[in-house]
Amino acid sequence: MSPDPFDFSMNIENMTTTIEGLLNKDTGDGASLDAIRAAERELGIKFPFDYESYLRTYGWVRLIYDELYGLGDSVPAHLNLITNTLRERTDFCPRLPNHLVPFMPDGAGNHYCLDLSRTESGNCPVVFWDHDEGEDQTPSIVAKSFSDWIVEHVTEQT
What's the rounded Cα separation, in Å, for the pair 127 and 113? Answer: 5
Q: Which pLDDT score, from 0 to 100, does residue 158 have?
A: 76
Residue 11 above 90 pLDDT?
no
Query: For the chain, what is the domain count?
Result: 1
pTM: 0.91
Angle at Cα 74 formed by Cα 70 and Cα 76, nearest 5°?
65
Residues linked to residue 126 through DSSP beta bridges, in sequence order: 114, 143
**Is there a contact between 67 and 104 (Cβ–Cβ < 8 Å)?**
yes
Residue 91 above 80 pLDDT?
yes
pLDDT of 103-148, one tens digit each? 999 999 999 999 999 999 889 999 999 999 999 999 999 999 999 9
What's the rounded Cα separation, in Å, for the pair 114 and 51? Answer: 9
Residues linked to residue 102 through DSSP beta bridges, in sequence order: 113
Q: Which pLDDT score, from 0 to 100, does residue 2 have?
A: 45
Alpha helices by DSSP H, listed for 7-145, are 9-21, 33-43, 49-57, 81-90
Q: Which pLDDT score, from 0 to 100, does residue 8 have?
A: 60
Q: Which pLDDT score, from 0 to 100, does residue 5 have?
A: 45
pLDDT of 31-69, one tens digit each? 999 999 999 999 999 999 999 999 999 999 999 899 999
Q: Which pLDDT score, from 0 to 100, does residue 6 have?
A: 44
CATH number, domain of 46, equals: 3.40.1580.10
Radius of gyration of the chain (CA): 15
Q: Which pLDDT score, from 0 to 100, does residue 157 have?
A: 81
| Residue numbers of the domain that contains 124 | 5-157
